[in-house]
A and B are shown apart, each in its own frame.
Chain A
């Protein structure tokens, strides 16, 4: 046998032995039980109460605060706005999560709304950290938000508060819906208004279609979302559909310049919304249009207020909080 071939075989065998040994060594490293993925669909499989939680989801941070479980949070993210004056360490590491910080904080669980890479999630699970996934895309409506409240309540031992928040949401939604139906729409020929939500105009007209929590806002405010029939989730709508359906009301994200709607070539240019100046920009409450949680009730209240000029009275929030959850009252 050629000398080189013999050396090659020896190298391959040696490598296989060394690497095989390392595999066994690292697979057994840590010694902690594997973490689990928790969603609203796996609620029967909830592990022990969590006390060291990392929230990468601003909607979850707000909910945990309202539930009275804020002390269980050991880290937050750069998008958290409620409660204000957060002093938690930020463990977002765009476009990833900062696993080093999360490990260093000895977290029990990480809550996220976005699909981080499979490999990062498996790192969490392999190191005994649970991953709580709360969807924020297509399929999230108020019923899902209530189930997410219940899940967070059960994970933190605050089930009773979760029930109180859900009851408050249901009562508020009924109030808002019946109020919206009762308002005088004669100025709109008595039919429901045609509305449109413009999230971004970068690289297309990004909006909320069917099966989104923003579509639910429109439904409760008795407004027809013109983007709903064309697609589900958040998507870029064909401008021809905007021009054809001609919205009477436009809700603008605060990142979009309202004057661009009237520009030459804009699909909104000839719409009644532009002609009658029925364009409303989310300013202090823009987070309620990006974060599905209990505070979305106040988004509907705001829409009804700006569109109909009426201010529906909501039941008071059932939990006494230091920071008012209603941004409409904060302004």
Chain B
């Protein structure tokens, strides 16, 4: 009887695991479909066959066998405009989703996200300083580099201010992050006040956009995000343990302080790089981890990659809506993520949990 019970349990666990893998596979497939469909959305209509030919022409060796019935303008639109924008959505959405999952595990707080550790205010300070002061000392990408450096620097400042006797208490770190963010936001407001003419440009940066992403901006960010996300994923067991409390994590042999330090550094690195090229995009880092927990339970082995997939999918769809909803106007993506995302989350919370979700 005891043996049969164990076998049943093992079979149940095995089935659950297979189910979760199937979910991850399905979501990944859905992401690929969203990426391909998004390549059709734009102000210029390009036939499906031409898009497929352009795809084929970009694959080394295969390009010789692909017919070239498309125009060079169509190739430019797909390769230089739509692909970097869609892949930008993929990279940025994934980094926000994964960052959100990791940060929520560390803080054990369902309403935390990567921005609470001062990252968004730091990036805003860097970008707005570059816009208002007209800084160009780092070339045409001074604004993006400044946003990245300031975002990362403010996270370090918050971290060291919150450090007490070599340890980080999540609540103290959270409050320090909120306080420093208010302080930095006041400086950003002061900068904007000194040059009203540039308020519009800074305003659009603060609302976020994927429109200005090109290959030159995307490559370095993609490298940083992919490597950081992978290393965050490798910490999934440690993050699971920390999620159950520092004491528990130490009791199962996790070096809590090292894991927190490494994770915060990687999230700061990855999300700073992302927002430096897109501006501030809210909602994704807060909500996608919750949605993935609703779908696949609380283990970070699934929550981290699925948050990344959902974040990427959501941001690419939001960008499609931002570009397509009003002809002649690209609505800042931060507005779309809020307007579309909140009802979407409320619906899924009710549908998947029957209103009993507890984080």
Contacts and interface: CB of A to CB of B under 8 A. Distances in A.
Interface in B137-196: 140-141, 143, 196
Nearest to B205: A117
A100 B234 CA distance: 40
A32 B73 CA distance: 11
A204 B199 CA distance: 14
Given A15-B226, A104-B44, A104-B73, A95 B330 contact: yes
A26 B230 contact: no
Interface stretch (B214-222, B256-264, B266-274, B300-308): B214-222
Contacts of B217: 119
A11 B230 contact: yes
B353 interface: no
B32 interface: no
A247 B81 CA distance: 51
B212 A78 contact: no
A100 B77 contact: yes
Interface string A92-125: 1111101111011110000000000111101100
Contacts of B42: 100
A15 to B, nearest CB: 6
Nearest to B227: A12
A95 B72 CA distance: 26
A19 interface: yes
Contact of A95 (B204, B213, B222): B204
B73 A103 contact: yes
Contact of A8 (B58, B211, B213, B231): B231
A15 B230 CA distance: 11
B79 interface: yes
Contacts of B79: 26, 29-30
B329 A22 contact: no
B32 to A, nearest CB: 17
B129 to A, nearest CB: 16
Nearest to A106: B73
Interface of A: 4, 8, 11-12, 15-16, 19, 21-23, 25-27, 29-30, 32, 78, 90, 92-96, 98-101, 103-106, 117-120, 122-123, 126-127, 203-204, 233-236
Given A25-B58, A119-B212, A235 B77 contact: no
Interface magnitude class on chain B: 35 or more
A120 B201 CA distance: 14
B200 interface: yes
30 contacts: A8-B230, A16-B223, A22-B215, A25-B58, A25-B60, A26-B79, A26-B80, A29-B75, A30-B75, A32-B72, A78-B328, A93-B328, A93-B330, A94-B330, A98-B43, A99-B77, A101-B43, A103-B73, A103-B77, A104-B74, A104-B77, A106-B72, A118-B140, A119-B141, A120-B211, A122-B140, A122-B216, A123-B80, A126-B214, A204-B196
A4 B234 CA distance: 8
Contacts of A99: 77, 81
B321 to A, nearest CB: 15
Given A12-B227, A90-B328, A100 B81 contact: yes
A8 B234 contact: yes
A120 B223 contact: no
Interface string B204-248: 100000011111110100110011001100100000000000000
B88 to A, nearest CB: 11
Contacts of B72: 30, 32, 106
B222 A93 contact: no
A23 B213 contact: no
Contacts of A119: 140-141, 212-214, 217
Contact of A103 (B76, B216, B234, B330): B76
B197 A234 contact: yes
A166 B73 CA distance: 37
Nearest to A99: B81
A150 B333 CA distance: 41
Contacts of B196: 203-204, 235-236
Nearest to A92: B328
**Which of A25, A27, A95 has the largest count of B CB atoms less than 10 A from its CB?**
A95
Leading 7 A-B pairs by shortest Cβ distance: A119-B212, A118-B140, A104-B44, A26-B215, A103-B76, A100-B44, A100-B43
A95 B201 CA distance: 9
Given A101-B44, A103-B73, A93 B329 contact: yes
A244 to B, nearest CB: 21
A236 B212 CA distance: 30
Q: Which of A11, A27, A119, A126 has the most CB of B within 10 A?
A: A119
Contacts of B211: 96, 120
